[in-house]
Amino acid sequence: MHRSRLAGFIIDCERPNLDAAARFWSEALGLPQLGRDGPTYEKLDASARDLHVEVQAVEHRSRVHLDIETDDQEAEVARLEALGARRIGLVQSWWVMEAPTGQRFCVVRSDSWEGKAGINTWP
Amino acid sequence: MHRSRLAGFIIDCERPNLDAAARFWSEALGLPQLGRDGPTYEKLDASARDLHVEVQAVEHRSRVHLDIETDDQEAEVARLEALGARRIGLVQSWWVMEAPTGQRFCVVRSDSWEGKAGINTWP
């Protein structure tokens, strides 16, 4: 048995001024800026929506990618592979995967599940 | 005064088998399928997360795009333009816009605000 759910999304911006990019998305979505999370990330406060949202500076084309959080990354990645997704690579602590429909997404580890909605439990 | 908030996101899939694409994303995210919403959309039930999520068949490259909902589209589009976004075009009832960081997103009309979290009120 393991758990997973949609954690939120990362707004990937190609070679941005990260301060300006985070300011735009903060104001566009009405989500306050929470400051830098390392050199390439800026967190937005989406706690009122029970979501994890960050703006990221990237080298590839701008996009939005989804994050799935789980208490067992290996089991969750295997579950997603069985559905047709494939592993792209392990980056820091998360698995980058590609959906059969082409979108990249990440599988991140979470140890905090208290009070979270929409948790799925998989056999 | 008008209101807006993050409505959710649309998972755009390039020339997919829409049934298979919706099935993958439904199972990957643990969001039940709600059936077709016109010929090119399939809705997922993200009500437990207070989000609107659909899988869409598109002709362009696969991506994920965000939707902002508002009770005044003209005021919201003007607010977003002032932040640096630009209008791409009106499609059916929603405005397609492009962020200064390059991502496309949509501004959709909503008349239902009861019980929704994270609503922003703009002067």
Residue of B nearest to A60 (CA): B102
Using the structure block, give the residue that is written with the tokens 């084309």. A61
pLDDT of res. A32 = 98
**Interface residue B115 vs chain A (CB under 8 A):** no
For residue A21, the chain B residues in CB contact (below 8 A) are: 100-101
Q: What is the pLDDT of residues A16-74, one digit of tens each?
A: 999 999 999 999 999 999 999 999 999 999 999 999 999 999 999 999 999 999 999 99
DSSP code per residue over B28-96: HHT--EEEESSTTEEEE--GGGT-EEEEEEESS--EEEEEEEES-HHHHHHHHHHHT-EEEEEETTEEE
pLDDT digits (tens, 9 = 90+) for B11-30: 999 999 999 999 999 999 99
Does residue A61 sit at the B interface (CB-CB below 8 Å)? yes
Query: Residue-wise over B3-19: b if at least 16 C-beta within 10 A, else e?
Result: bbbbbbbbbbbeebebe
Nearest Cβ partner of B49 from A6, A13, A27?
A6
Q: Which residue of B has its CA nearest to A56?
A: B101
Chain A neighbours among B 1-40 (CB < 8 Å)?
4-6, 9, 11, 13-14, 16, 20-21, 24-25, 27-31
H/E element, A25: helix A18-29
- Separation between Cα atoms, residue B7 and residue B118, nearest integer Å: 10
pLDDT, mean of residues B65-91 = 98
Label residue B45 by pLDDT band (50, 70, 90). Answer: very high
pTM: 0.97
Q: What pLDDT does B86 receive? A: 98
Task: Give which of B1, B50, B64 to mutate to test A binding, by max A Cβ within 10 Å.
Answer: B64
Distances (CA, A) of A108 to A5, A24, A38, A44: 10, 26, 17, 18
Tokens 């990362």 belong to: A10
- pLDDT of A89-99, one tens digit each? 999 999 999 99
| Local structure of residue A118 (DSSP, 8 states) | S
- Of the candidates B50, B80, B103, the beta carbon closest to that of A64 is on B103
The mean pLDDT of B93-104, rounded to a whole number, is: 98
Strands B2-14 and B120-122: antiparallel
pLDDT of B112: 92
Per-residue pLDDT band for A83 (boundaries 50, 70, 90) equals very high
Cα of A54 to nearest chain B Cα, Å: 14
Q: Are B34 and A77 in contact (CB under 8 A)?
A: no
Give residue B77's pLDDT band: very low, low, confident or very high (50, 70, 90).
very high
Q: What DSSP assignment string belongs to A7-24?
A: EEEEEEEES--HHHHHHH
